[in-house]
Structure 1
Amino acid sequence: MSVCCNSEYHLFTLCTETKSHNVDCYWPNPLVESYIIRIHKHFFSNCTIEEVIWVDPPDDTLTILILIPVFLTLAMIALVVWCSKRSDLLA
Protein backbone atom coordinates (compact mmCIF):
# COMPACT_ATOMS: atom_id res chain seq x y z
CA MET A 1 0.00 0.00 0.00
CA SER A 2 1.09 3.51 -0.51
CA VAL A 3 2.12 5.67 2.43
CA CYS A 4 -1.01 7.81 2.11
CA CYS A 5 -3.37 4.88 2.48
CA ASN A 6 -1.44 3.41 5.40
CA SER A 7 -1.43 6.74 7.19
CA GLU A 8 -5.14 7.40 6.63
CA TYR A 9 -6.12 3.89 7.66
CA HIS A 10 -3.95 4.16 10.78
CA LEU A 11 -5.60 7.46 11.73
CA PHE A 12 -9.03 6.00 11.11
CA THR A 13 -8.23 2.97 13.25
CA LEU A 14 -6.99 5.18 16.09
CA CYS A 15 -10.11 7.32 15.81
CA THR A 16 -12.45 4.32 15.98
CA GLU A 17 -10.55 2.84 18.87
CA THR A 18 -10.73 6.11 20.79
CA LYS A 19 -14.44 6.57 20.07
CA SER A 20 -15.24 3.00 21.08
CA HIS A 21 -13.47 3.55 24.41
CA ASN A 22 -15.34 6.84 24.90
CA VAL A 23 -18.69 5.03 24.68
CA ASP A 24 -17.47 2.20 26.93
CA CYS A 25 -17.34 -0.30 24.12
CA TYR A 26 -14.58 -2.88 24.27
CA TRP A 27 -12.00 -2.89 21.49
CA PRO A 28 -11.97 -4.67 19.11
CA ASN A 29 -15.48 -5.89 18.76
CA PRO A 30 -17.29 -7.47 15.79
CA LEU A 31 -19.52 -4.47 15.10
CA VAL A 32 -16.65 -1.98 15.01
CA GLU A 33 -14.51 -4.45 13.09
CA SER A 34 -17.15 -4.92 10.38
CA TYR A 35 -17.54 -1.14 10.18
CA ILE A 36 -13.79 -0.72 9.70
CA ILE A 37 -13.77 -3.37 6.99
CA ARG A 38 -16.66 -1.67 5.14
CA ILE A 39 -14.92 1.71 5.38
CA HIS A 40 -11.65 0.18 4.26
CA LYS A 41 -13.25 -1.46 1.22
CA HIS A 42 -15.02 1.77 0.29
CA PHE A 43 -12.26 4.34 0.76
CA PHE A 44 -9.06 2.37 0.32
CA SER A 45 -9.96 0.18 -2.64
CA ASN A 46 -7.82 2.31 -4.97
CA CYS A 47 -4.58 1.78 -3.09
CA THR A 48 -2.10 0.03 -5.28
CA ILE A 49 -0.04 -2.77 -3.88
CA GLU A 50 3.49 -2.64 -5.16
CA GLU A 51 4.61 -6.20 -5.64
CA VAL A 52 8.16 -6.89 -4.57
CA ILE A 53 10.12 -8.73 -7.21
CA TRP A 54 12.80 -10.86 -5.62
CA VAL A 55 15.95 -11.39 -7.66
CA ASP A 56 18.95 -13.57 -6.93
CA PRO A 57 22.13 -11.76 -5.95
CA PRO A 58 25.00 -11.77 -8.42
CA ASP A 59 27.04 -14.98 -8.52
CA ASP A 60 30.06 -13.36 -6.83
CA THR A 61 27.95 -12.18 -3.90
CA LEU A 62 26.18 -15.52 -3.63
CA THR A 63 29.50 -17.38 -3.59
CA ILE A 64 30.83 -15.14 -0.81
CA LEU A 65 27.62 -15.55 1.21
CA ILE A 66 27.95 -19.33 0.96
CA LEU A 67 31.69 -19.56 1.59
CA ILE A 68 31.88 -17.30 4.66
CA PRO A 69 29.84 -19.63 6.95
CA VAL A 70 31.70 -22.66 5.56
CA PHE A 71 35.09 -21.14 6.35
CA LEU A 72 33.92 -19.92 9.76
CA THR A 73 32.71 -23.43 10.59
CA LEU A 74 36.02 -24.96 9.50
CA ALA A 75 37.94 -22.34 11.48
CA MET A 76 35.89 -23.03 14.63
CA ILE A 77 36.45 -26.79 14.26
CA ALA A 78 40.18 -26.21 13.80
CA LEU A 79 40.24 -23.91 16.85
CA VAL A 80 38.45 -26.48 19.03
CA VAL A 81 40.81 -29.27 17.91
CA TRP A 82 43.86 -27.05 18.43
CA CYS A 83 42.68 -25.96 21.90
CA SER A 84 41.93 -29.54 22.95
CA LYS A 85 45.41 -30.65 21.90
CA ARG A 86 46.91 -27.64 23.66
CA SER A 87 45.12 -28.45 26.94
CA ASP A 88 46.61 -31.97 26.85
CA LEU A 89 50.10 -30.44 26.65
CA LEU A 90 49.45 -28.02 29.51
CA ALA A 91 47.98 -30.63 31.84
Structure 2
Amino acid sequence: THTHTHTYTHTLTHTHACYHEFTQCTEKGAVRIHCYWPNPLVEGYIIRIHKHFFSNCSLDRVVWLDPPEEKLLALILVPVFLTLAMIALVVWCSKRSDLLG
Protein backbone atom coordinates (compact mmCIF):
# COMPACT_ATOMS: atom_id res chain seq x y z
CA THR A 1 0.00 0.00 0.00
CA HIS A 2 2.96 2.32 0.61
CA THR A 3 4.04 2.03 -3.05
CA HIS A 4 0.48 2.65 -4.20
CA THR A 5 0.23 5.69 -1.91
CA HIS A 6 3.56 7.03 -3.21
CA THR A 7 2.46 6.52 -6.83
CA TYR A 8 -0.90 8.16 -6.15
CA THR A 9 0.76 11.11 -4.39
CA HIS A 10 3.27 11.52 -7.23
CA THR A 11 0.47 11.41 -9.83
CA LEU A 12 -1.63 13.87 -7.84
CA THR A 13 1.33 16.23 -7.41
CA HIS A 14 2.14 16.02 -11.13
CA THR A 15 -1.50 16.63 -12.08
CA HIS A 16 -1.70 19.59 -9.70
CA ALA A 17 1.48 21.07 -11.20
CA CYS A 18 0.06 20.70 -14.74
CA TYR A 19 -3.23 22.37 -13.77
CA HIS A 20 -1.37 25.13 -11.95
CA GLU A 21 0.77 25.80 -15.03
CA PHE A 22 -2.29 25.74 -17.29
CA THR A 23 -4.17 28.08 -14.97
CA GLN A 24 -1.30 30.57 -14.95
CA CYS A 25 -1.08 30.39 -18.73
CA THR A 26 -4.81 31.05 -19.20
CA GLU A 27 -4.71 33.84 -16.62
CA LYS A 28 -1.86 35.57 -18.48
CA GLY A 29 -3.69 35.08 -21.77
CA ALA A 30 -6.88 36.59 -20.36
CA VAL A 31 -4.99 39.59 -18.99
CA ARG A 32 -3.18 40.05 -22.32
CA ILE A 33 -6.50 40.34 -24.21
CA HIS A 34 -7.88 42.61 -21.46
CA CYS A 35 -10.32 40.11 -19.98
CA TYR A 36 -10.99 39.90 -16.28
CA TRP A 37 -9.89 36.87 -14.33
CA PRO A 38 -11.41 34.50 -13.25
CA ASN A 39 -13.47 34.32 -16.39
CA PRO A 40 -16.53 32.02 -16.67
CA LEU A 41 -15.87 31.47 -20.39
CA VAL A 42 -12.30 30.34 -19.71
CA GLU A 43 -13.46 28.16 -16.80
CA GLY A 44 -16.05 26.56 -19.09
CA TYR A 45 -13.34 25.96 -21.68
CA ILE A 46 -11.15 24.26 -19.08
CA ILE A 47 -14.04 22.07 -17.93
CA ARG A 48 -14.85 21.06 -21.54
CA ILE A 49 -11.20 20.13 -22.13
CA HIS A 50 -11.16 18.11 -18.92
CA LYS A 51 -14.36 16.26 -19.82
CA HIS A 52 -13.08 15.54 -23.32
CA PHE A 53 -9.58 14.34 -22.47
CA PHE A 54 -10.01 12.97 -18.95
CA SER A 55 -13.51 11.51 -19.01
CA ASN A 56 -12.17 7.96 -19.22
CA CYS A 57 -9.56 8.17 -16.48
CA SER A 58 -9.12 4.84 -14.85
CA LEU A 59 -7.73 4.08 -11.45
CA ASP A 60 -5.37 1.43 -12.78
CA ARG A 61 -2.70 0.63 -10.29
CA VAL A 62 0.92 0.41 -11.26
CA VAL A 63 2.01 -3.20 -11.21
CA TRP A 64 5.54 -3.54 -9.92
CA LEU A 65 7.43 -6.45 -11.42
CA ASP A 66 10.73 -7.93 -10.33
CA PRO A 67 13.58 -7.29 -12.74
CA PRO A 68 14.82 -10.22 -14.82
CA GLU A 69 16.79 -12.78 -12.82
CA GLU A 70 20.18 -11.85 -14.29
CA LYS A 71 19.73 -8.18 -13.41
CA LEU A 72 18.42 -9.02 -9.95
CA LEU A 73 21.41 -11.30 -9.37
CA ALA A 74 23.79 -8.54 -10.48
CA LEU A 75 22.05 -5.99 -8.22
CA ILE A 76 22.54 -8.34 -5.27
CA LEU A 77 26.03 -9.69 -5.99
CA VAL A 78 27.83 -6.49 -7.04
CA PRO A 79 27.41 -4.76 -3.64
CA VAL A 80 28.33 -8.00 -1.84
CA PHE A 81 31.55 -8.39 -3.85
CA LEU A 82 32.41 -4.70 -3.46
CA THR A 83 31.96 -5.00 0.29
CA LEU A 84 34.16 -8.11 0.43
CA ALA A 85 36.78 -6.40 -1.74
CA MET A 86 36.83 -3.34 0.54
CA ILE A 87 37.18 -5.56 3.64
CA ALA A 88 40.04 -7.47 1.99
CA LEU A 89 41.72 -4.19 1.02
CA VAL A 90 41.47 -2.82 4.57
CA VAL A 91 42.85 -6.04 6.04
CA TRP A 92 45.68 -6.16 3.48
CA CYS A 93 46.59 -2.49 4.08
CA SER A 94 46.55 -2.95 7.85
CA LYS A 95 48.89 -5.96 7.56
CA ARG A 96 51.21 -3.99 5.27
CA SER A 97 51.39 -1.11 7.72
CA ASP A 98 52.31 -3.59 10.50
CA LEU A 99 55.15 -4.94 8.32
CA LEU A 100 56.39 -1.45 7.40
CA GLY A 101 56.08 0.01 10.91
TM-score, with structure 2 as normaliser: 0.48
What count of residue pairs does the alignment treat as equivalent?
66
Alignment of structure 1 residues 19-34 onto 2, 5 Å: none
Q: Could you list the runs of 5+ residues in structure 1 that have no partner in the other structure?
A: 19-38
Give runs of ≥4 in structure 1 deviating > 3 Å.
Answer: 5-8, 15-18
Pick from 57, 62, 78 the counterpart of residue 52 of structure 1.
62
For the aligned residues, what is the CA RMSD?
Answer: 3.6
> Which structure would you say has the larger RCO, counting Cα contacts within 8 Å and 6 or more residues apart?
1
Residues 11 and 70 (structure 1), Cα distance of their counterparts in 2 relative to 1, 3 Å cut: same
Q: Could you list the runs of 5+ residues in structure 2 that have no partner in the other structure?
A: 1-10, 29-45
Q: Which structure shows the higher helix fraction?
A: 2
- The amino acid that maps onto 2:22 is L
Residues 17 and 88 (structure 1), Cα distance of their counterparts in 2 relative to 1, 3 Å cut: farther
